[in-house]
Structure 1
């Protein structure tokens, strides 16, 4: 009677194993890809797993979007991992956002808010409003969902969208691809009356791991106070505050 030789699963002192074989093998594969793209042969060589096992696992992980392929057909970490990481960063970021928003509100005299994107909507997840003086039309309570078709927050959340997906997103929007190119170039977006008449706003991107835009930080207030070119006056302050939140997200 012949017996098969167990597959060797290499490990390092830093790698914690679960004791569940298939999970440990998948973790090994993902660990190799943390350092960059890899061919099937390299995955076999670096993990010590048998080629049929590696092939079976990478196909399964690819179906789950945990692994993807680059333009050369090499395996890379998949988009689902980035989304999960960004989600974890967002939760931590929202928990620590209030002091940043409050300082921005105090420095600019404008209400400060943090927005997340959910599909075709943007949701206000944190707010510090100017007490007493903000007009009703400038109120955006936490939890309110708004469409991604107008305003600087929408522009920021879409400006770094993949080109192949952007065309569909811009249908019905009150801004163009040229507008978004300007947002990418200057690092902030502005509007006067973009969502509500008489209200000016400025927004900047908050980034998570890998530089991915995970949220938008904005300030808003009456045009009479913020001027017709609020980005020139407050763009740097909003970018600085967004950078602080970005450091929180990836820290």
Structure 2
């Protein structure tokens, strides 16, 4: 960040809101110290400090390991919430097409704290087996491909916390980030394979995981090799529906 921000942004006419928006806009460029924020926004240092601390208390800002201010987790949560209805409205047809293309059950999971919740699904009919994860099912974030995807792109502190007691490690999540999808065998149930890819919302934030799961006989012991292309296509389609 160099220089003072140009004040071309729309204004509300409410001073404190306009100053807050100016501060958040500055931090959209990256982490910044109190001094940098003062220089960039042109606001008085006491004003910047007061607003930044208040926004930090609301989790709209947080601080990195160097003590600099950064945009906080609440902004991502609000963005995810804003896209929730659109995501669910678009999920049904996409999951049904994915199921028909692959012959496996397709689901959509969202993270809620230490759980992943199935919010939409397209099941394979006539298999004679019970539904593994009906809509509304809450499963732990410690095993499975969906859990890996929902954790892999978290901030380092949250990622390390999520790995405690998990059935996968940091090396596995690094591989997930590199290839763009995760797979697991027998993690939640013996003989079941699963494959997951991230659905991204505004700011490229991971807001959900789209998955395939079924017997190893259907998905094989290397489901990513066979079905990652179809799964990623579905994830991209769902993501595009959130950022249009």
TM-score range relative to shorter protein: 0.7 to 0.9
Gaps of 5+ in 2: none
Deviation at 1:216, TM superposition (A): 0.6
> Which residue in the other structure is 1:26 paired with?
20
Say what the alpha-carbon RMSD is for the aligned residues.
2.6
Q: How does 1:152-191 map to 2 (within 5 A)?
A: 152-191=145-184
Deviation at 1:133, TM superposition (A): 2.1
Deviation at 1:91, TM superposition (A): 3.3
For residue 96 of structure 1, give the secondary structure of its aligned residue in structure 2: helix
Q: 1:71, 1:172 → 2: CA distance?
A: 24
Q: How does 1:35-50 map to 2 (within 5 A)?
A: 35-38=29-32, 40=34, 43-44=37-38, 47=41, 49-50=43-44
Gaps of 5+ in 1: 1-9
TM-score computed with the length of structure 2 as normaliser: 0.85
1:187-215 residue CA offsets vs partner (Å, 9 max, x unmatched): 22222322122222211111222222211
The higher radius of gyration belongs to: 1
Q: How does 1:192-203 map to 2 (within 5 A)?
A: 192-203=185-196
> Which residue in the other structure is 1:214 paired with?
207
Number of aligned pairs?
Answer: 240
1:95-143 residue CA offsets vs partner (Å, 9 max, x unmatched): 211111111011001111000011110000011111222621x431111
For residue 143 of structure 1, give the secondary structure of its aligned residue in structure 2: coil
1:156-204 residue CA offsets vs partner (Å, 9 max, x unmatched): 1122233333343233322233322222222222223221222222111
- The question of whether the paired residues in 2 share the 8 Å contact of 1:112 and 1:128 is answered with yes
TM-score computed with the length of structure 1 as normaliser: 0.82
Deviates more, 1:109-118 or 1:52-61: 52-61
1:66-106 residue CA offsets vs partner (Å, 9 max, x unmatched): 23345665543333212211222233212211111111011
